[in-house]
Amino acid sequence: MQQGKAVRTQLSVRYADTDQMGVVYYANYLVWFEVGRNAFFRVLGDSYRRWEEAGLLLPVVEAGCRYYQPAHYDDEVTVATTLANLSVARLTFTYRVERGTVLLAEGHTVHAFLGPGGRPVNLKKAFPGLWDKLLPCVAPPAGREPGTPGAAKQRG
C-alpha cells in the first residue's frame, strides 16, 4: 500500500441506520469507521481475527467525529480510512465520510496495542512483521508530501 493512501469503502445507508429525524444516527458513523478499519486491514492482507489469534488486541482508547452534513436512508457513502500515526504503543486512524464530492463527516480513532491479559505491548518488538507492514502505510504529517524525508510519522 502506498504511504498515506486512504482505503475507500462503499456503504449503502440502511433504514436501520437512521433516527427519528430521518438522518443517520450519530453513533453509526463510529460503526462505519470500524467497517473502514477492517477494509484497511484486508487491503494489507491481514485481519483483526488473525491478530487476536496471535495474542494482539487493538482496543479503541479514543474516538472523535465532526459532522458537517447529514446522510439519509439509501444514500451511497464512502468511508476513506487512513493510517495517520503509528508508535510502538498505539496507532491512529482518520476517516472521511463522503457522499459523492460532499464531505459528511471526519473522525479519528486511537487504538492501543495490548497482549494477553490486557497488558500493553511494544508492537515493534512483539510483532515485528506487523510493524513492518504498517510502517510504510503511515500518512505524512500535515504539510509534507508522501516520500519526503521525515514523512513517516512514527515514534520508536
Give the DSSP H or E segment for 112.
strand 102-112
Residue 63 burial by Cβ neighbours in a 10 Å radius (0-12, 13-18, 19+): middle
Active site residue 19: yes
**Which of 19, 46, 75, 132 does the annotation list as catalytic?**
19
Q: Identify any residues that bridge with 109 across adjacent strands, giving them in sequence order.
A: 63, 93
d(CA 149, CA 91): 21
Residue 1 neighbours by CB under 8 Å, 6+ apart? 7, 43, 44, 136, 137
**Assigned C-alpha cell, 143:** 504539510
**Assigned C-alpha cell, 53:** 489469534
CA distances from 131 to 84, 98, 112 (A): 14, 30, 14
Catalytic (active-site) positions: 19
